Chains A and B, each alone.
Chain A
Amino acid sequence: DIVMTQSPDSLAVSLGERATINCKSSQSVLYSSNNKNYLTWFQQKPGQPPKLLIYWASTRESGVPDRFSGSGSGTDFTLTISSLQAEDVAVYYCQQYYNIPLTFGGGTKVEIK
């Protein structure tokens, strides 16, 4: 199974400041034949299901604000919130869909400082 490791476990950022979340996979999730990274980022607010933010590591889902961006390739990935807003307080998860079983990172809790 591919192990997904996120860091940090939590972070507190001032409103308007940048938040950066890291995700590392135990093996590459880059499929060489199509040069795509099989990685998504989800946002989960309390009492709600996860919501898709980013897929193919860097493609923003329709309707997701452009302050959210994903980057990285192979085994190392980053989710960046360029200017944190109050509504961004949530837990963020990375997940690989390179192979089965699908596996998730442990989550990163983002709070306001």
Chain B
Amino acid sequence: QVQLVQSGAEVKKPGASVKVSCKASGYTFTAYYMHWVRQAPGQGLEWMGWINPNSGGSNYAQKFQGRVTMTRDTSISTAYMELSRLRSDDTAVYYCARVPLRRGYNPIDYWGQGTLVTVSS
């Protein structure tokens, strides 16, 4: 069955960086985009960007341009999201979510379990 297993919770100081991993199994890793979405405590969902695991190409939300980097390692079917220059308002649960790599836009159909990143001095 499809699984997206994310790395464990992190506590970081302001100004630091965090790298969250998302290991895929149960499907062909390169056949699906990997998107990243975050959710601040008690808040809604915010899209951060995507990576094409096949090509390595990526597309980031303007809000995160210059601070976020999405990468992948196809040999271990794992996607990564690194966010730098962390601030307290980056405290959130970060989700990976897959989208079929087909022509045009397609729906998110499966989410990872989420990784809580806490930014605190």
User: How far is A93 from B45 in the complex, measured between Cα atoms in Å?
Assistant: 9
The size bracket of the interface on B is 20 to 34
A100 contacts the other chain (CB 8 A): yes
Question: SS class of chain A's interface: helix, strand, loop or mixed?
Answer: loop
Residues in chain B within 8 A of chain A (CB atoms) = 35, 37, 44-47, 59, 61-62, 95, 97, 99, 104-114
Decide if B109 touches A99 in the complex (CB within 8 Å). Answer: no
Decide if B95 touches A49 in the complex (CB within 8 Å). Answer: yes
Number of A-B residue pairs having CB atoms within 8 Å of each other in the complex:
55
Residue on A with the closest CB to B109? A52
CB distance from A43 to the nearest CB of B (A): 11
With A101-B61, A104-B47 already in contact, the answer to whether A55 and B111 are too (CB < 8 A) is no
Please report the total number of A residues contacting B with Cβ < 8 Å.
25
Residues in chain A within 8 A of chain B (CB atoms) = 31, 38, 40, 42, 48-52, 55-56, 61, 93, 95, 97-107
